[in-house]
Amino acid sequence: MKIKEVSERTGLTKKTIRYYEAEGLLSPEKQWQNGREYRNYSEADIQRLTKIAALRRARFSVEEIRHIHEVPGDIPEIFQSYRRRLQQEQVDLSAILAVINNITSETLTSEDTLISQMKPATVGLPLPAVDLNPHFRYLDEMEELSQLVSHRITPQEQKQKDIAAMGAAMYAGFNQQDSTSGSNASPGGYGSGFDISPAQKVATYNLLLNTKDMDQ
C-alpha cells in the first residue's frame, strides 16, 4: 500500500512516517517502476508503526526504540535506563515549575525579563535531546525532494523544452542577421541570409523526430 493509506490507517503524518524510516525504525519494501523508487507498505509495516507510535507516546527515545527492536534481549536494561531518564526529567520539571509558579505574567514585558526570571530554574539543565541531535533540516530536505520528484519533468516535456530553446536560439540568430545586414532581410522580417550549422540541423531534426515518436 502507499504512504497515503498508511497515514490514514495509523493516524501518523507522512513526514512522521518518513522520519521513522530515515531513523531505521521501519524498512518497507522498495520497488522500481519507470525509473522511480516506490515504497510498498505491508500489514507488518502498519503493525510496526503502531508499536513505534505507542513507545514514542510513552516518551521512549528513537535510539531506545531502535535498540529494543534490534536487540530484544536488552529490553530490561533499556527499560531501567528509560525509567531513570524519566525520573530525572521529572526532577528537572519540578524545579522549573517551582520557579515559574512564582512568576506573574504581568511582569514579563520582554524576552530579557522572561529569561532573567527563568534563569534560576534552567541553570545546569542540559539541552533537549532533539536539540543535540536535530533532524528537522533533513526532514525538510526530504519533503522538498518528494515534491520535486512528484513534479518531475517527463521526457516528453524535456524534449519540448529543448526544442523551444533551439527555436529561441535560431530566432536570435535571425534577428542578429537582420540587424547587421539589411540586404539579407526578407520582406517578412526574417533574415534570408541566416544559416545554422549542419550539427544544429541534425539536432533539431532528432528532437522533432523523438518527440513525434513519444506522442504515438
51 pLDDT tier (thresholds 50, 70, 90): very high
82: which residues sit within 8 A by CB, 6+ positions away? 59, 60, 61, 64
Contact 17, 6 (CB under 8 A): yes
Q: Residue 108 corresponds to which amino acid?
A: L
Q: Which one has a higher pLDDT value, 214 or 47?
A: 47
pLDDT in tens, 12-46: 999 999 999 999 999 999 888 887 888 899 999 99
Which pLDDT band holds residue 58 (cuts at 50, 70, 90)? Answer: very high
What's this model's pTM, rounded to 2 decimal places?
A: 0.56
> Which single residue is written with the C-alpha cell 530579557?
112
Tell me, what's the pLDDT at 12?
A: 94
Q: Which residues make beta-bridge pairs with 37? A: 32
Query: What domains lie within the chain, and their CATH numbers?
Result: 3-150 (1.10.1660.10), 155-215 (no CATH)
What was the pLDDT predicted at 184?
Answer: 47
pLDDT > 90 fraction of the chain, expressed in percent and rounded: 39
Are 166 and 204 within 8 A, CB to CB?
A: yes
pLDDT, tens only, 176-213: 555 554 544 444 444 444 455 555 655 655 655 555 44
List phi, psi (to 5°) of 113: -70, -35
Angle at 46 between CA 41 and CA 51, to 5 degrees: 140
Q: What pLDDT was estimated at residue 8? A: 95
State mean pLDDT over 104-122: 88
If we measure between CA atoms, which residue out of 40, 56, 32 comes closest to residue 2?
40
Among 19-33, 73-87, 132-146, top mean pLDDT goes to 73-87
